[in-house]
Chains A and B, each alone.
Chain A
Amino acid sequence: MNKSIETVGQNLVEILTEYLKNNWADSPSSKQTITPATNMVTELQLDSFQVMEFMLEVEDHFDIVIDLESLSDIQTITDLASFVIAAQPE
């Protein structure tokens, strides 16, 4: 399965938007419009438990295992998209 970074980025935007809407409807981060360029750290300010729950959804959606240490270098949705593509089996 060979997906472009744009497609994966768009998938991630949808997963995150849905996750925030379903779980944190009252929080300011759920009201922001998320794009592939959105910085999850500085703009959305997700807390560590939200990050983990979101990663779980990402793992389930793409059927991958995320090595959590790599998250330390991920800031934007596009960063995460490149990571997801690299983690997918050939």
Chain B
Amino acid sequence: MSPTQKNHKLPVKVTGYKNLVEVLEYAAQGETGYNFYDGRGHLSTVLSYSELRDDAMVLAQRLIRLGCERGARVGIIAETDPMFHRFFFACQYAGLIPVALPAGIQLGAHGAYVGQVRRMLKSCGASVVVAPATHSKFMEEAVQGLDLLMAGTQGDFDALPVADVEFEPLGEDEPAYLQYTSGSTSFPRGVEITQKTVLNNLMEIARYGLKLTAADRFVSWLPFYHDMGLVGFILVPLIGQLSVDYLGSRTFAMRPRLWLKLLSDNGGTISSAPTFGYALCARRLRPSDVESYDLSKWRAACVGAERINPEPLQEFADILRASGFDEKAFVACYGMAECVLATSFAPLDRGLAVDVVDRVLMAETGEARPSNGNTVSTSEYVDCGKLLPGFEFLILDDNGVELENRHCGNIYLKGPSVMRGYYRDDKATSAVLTDDGWLNTGDIGYRIDNHLVITSRSKDVIIIKGRNIWPYDLEVLAQRTGGVKLGGVAAFSVTGSSLEEQAVLVVETREKDPASRQHIIEEVSRSIHAHFGINVLIDLTPRGTLPRTSSGKLSRSQSKQDYLARKTLEGVERSAAKAGEKQSA
């Protein structure tokens, strides 16, 4: 077995398609496709675009024969497995809507995982669910009592009879897929992306963001239930008719060096990760590895998904310079599933451009003024480049007034890549999309002329190691703990000591007894860890002290400010107390 290579004859074509079926049909005329590597880094499956087309068409006939109605939702547990691609494209042919479901299971999180999948299936009203054999036990539990046509593994579906009907693939204004944007336990939100919308963003990424050529090759370990994995490393390579090499996400977590080995062995040119992926990899490298790699072809090392921290990226580049890695390959990107994937790219072949600003002025006035010789304290932010051509953006203050250059505010986006809305959820949709099509990203940033700088991702969403976590979900879990009052919890994130996001919960309680207080802290953190696999800092505060808006709504941003002020004050008092001890001694 050998991996797919590049196209020798088929010219790169990124426009002129009406739907994803047409994109696949064109790519299937070439020699490229998807290559899957196992936990030891050995090639396990090759799925060329032409084989994928053939497999997907047969599977589509089986799904139609099964009785799936047009537009029915097909939940796919999105393990890094060729099964995902087959079902995703079978849906495109059969006129069904694929829904990527999470596949990552945490230690001791059996019940939480099953519950999460079940809520997503209910939210989208799935008719069919498919899982890899490794996940069939969880799937069976998740679908119990749901009204489905079928739930099974690839093998179960392969045994179904085939219909013999003409396909009517999903059309321009029909959905291409639904994507759940977070590990949200309470209210899963399925981003609905139409064919026209996804094709627009794919074209813009291919043509303007990455400037794809027939010489490119993708390498990825990102999960397919995340927009960077699904769009960035299944659909973008497809629209460029390029080959991709995949490692499983958990393989990467266990053996991150396999990522670099694959890039080196196969001459990968494009690969992306959140900052933590580069940091994890750098931490595990051995000097002998560095000499054995050739990373000189890696021309676009995209960084996105969470706030970009330049320091670990620079370390990564320093260590791998000997492997031929050029730090100019770093491309800062900004995007979100609500805009398919990407909204802005920093210029290629430039590397990271870091804007160093006056931290104090920024905290007090929101102005990002470049630091000078007199600046006492500075903050560093990465320039995420110009928006892709289809987008317009606005930076507004909290009253909706547009801000000038270098002033931080709420980022709004508009354009043909913006989602239609959250699936069957008008309330959640109208909370973020205005009537005239502006998407409130929830992210905060400033502009330097037409370049965008992000200062904090999603004032509401907490992003830890690339996972989006909705504060509301953490608050709900905390409120299920004894001694915690409904509405008496605020969740947000702060930047930790190593510049990674740290989730914080401020919990109101009347409890005075130290043992009971400790019990609340342990119970809440245990419950959150069991559901989300993250560690939280818990800060207890007396009843009625969390800040609220005039309408009585909890203010997370004010809670965060208060928390930070309290911690700073405690720090000052502690050092004062220590100084006092020393003096009296």
Contact = CB atoms under 8 A, between A and B. Distances in A.
Interface stretch (A1-9, A10-18, A41-49): A41-49
B397 to A, nearest CB: 36
Contact of B535 (A47, A52, A69): A47
A68 interface: yes
B279 to A, nearest CB: 10
Contacts of A69: 105, 134-135, 137-138
Interface string B64-106: 0000000000000000000000000000000000000000111
Interface string B11-42: 00000000000000000000000000001000
Interface string B104-116: 1111111001000
Nearest to A55: B254
Contacts of A90: none
A49 B105 contact: no
Interface in A74-88: 74-75
A42 B530 contact: yes
Contacts of A42: 522, 526, 529-530
Nearest to A41: B108
A40 B109 CA distance: 12
Interface string A59-74: 0000001011101111
Contact of A71 (B105, B276, B529): B105
A51 interface: yes
Given A41-B529, A47-B533, A74-B107, A52 B137 contact: no
Nearest to B498: A26
B448 interface: no
Contacts of B253: 48-49, 52-53
Contacts of B6: none
Contacts of B138: 69, 72
| B interface: dominant SS | helix
A53 B529 contact: no
B316 to A, nearest CB: 16
A56 interface: yes
B533 to A, nearest CB: 5
B105 A47 contact: no
B275 to A, nearest CB: 13
B250 interface: yes
Nearest to A80: B107
For B107, B134, B253, B525, the residue with the greatest tally of chain A CB atoms inside 10 Å of its CB is B107
B255 interface: yes
Given A45-B529, A47-B535, A67-B134, A74 B254 contact: no
B464 to A, nearest CB: 8
For A23, A56, A72, the residue with the greatest tally of chain B CB atoms inside 10 Å of its CB is A72
A55 B135 CA distance: 19
Nearest to B253: A52
Nearest to B276: A49
A40 B254 contact: no
Interface magnitude class on chain B: 20 to 34
B110 A72 contact: yes
Interface string B500-536: 0000000000000000000000100110011001110
Interface in B192-230: none
A71 B107 contact: yes
Given A52-B250, A52-B254, A69-B138, A45 B105 contact: no
Interface string B355-383: 00000000000000000000000000000
Contacts of B319: none
Contacts of A52: 250, 253-254
Contacts of B250: 52, 68
A12 B325 CA distance: 38
A72 B106 contact: yes
Contacts of B280: 49
B566 interface: no
A49 B108 CA distance: 14
A41 B530 contact: yes
B10 to A, nearest CB: 38
B480 interface: no
B465 interface: yes
A47 B105 CA distance: 12
A6 B105 CA distance: 27
Contacts of A51: 106-107
A46 B134 contact: no
Contact of A72 (B108, B255, B283): B108
Contacts of B105: 68-69, 71-72
B572 to A, nearest CB: 23
Contacts of A55: 254
A84 B276 CA distance: 30
Given A52-B253, A53-B253, A53-B254, A41 B134 contact: no
Contacts of A47: 465, 533-535
A74 B465 CA distance: 23
A50 B109 CA distance: 15
A41 B108 CA distance: 7
Nearest to B79: A69
Nearest to A72: B110
A90 to B, nearest CB: 23
B263 to A, nearest CB: 20
Given A41-B529, A69-B137, 20 more contacts: A42-B522, A42-B526, A45-B535, A47-B465, A47-B535, A48-B104, A48-B533, A49-B276, A51-B106, A55-B254, A56-B254, A56-B255, A68-B250, A69-B134, A71-B108, A72-B105, A72-B106, A72-B108, A73-B108, A75-B108
8 contacts: A41-B529, A42-B529, A48-B107, A67-B134, A68-B105, A69-B105, A69-B137, A74-B108
The 4 A-B pairs with the shortest beta carbon distances in the complex, nearest first, are A52-B253, A72-B110, A41-B108, A42-B526
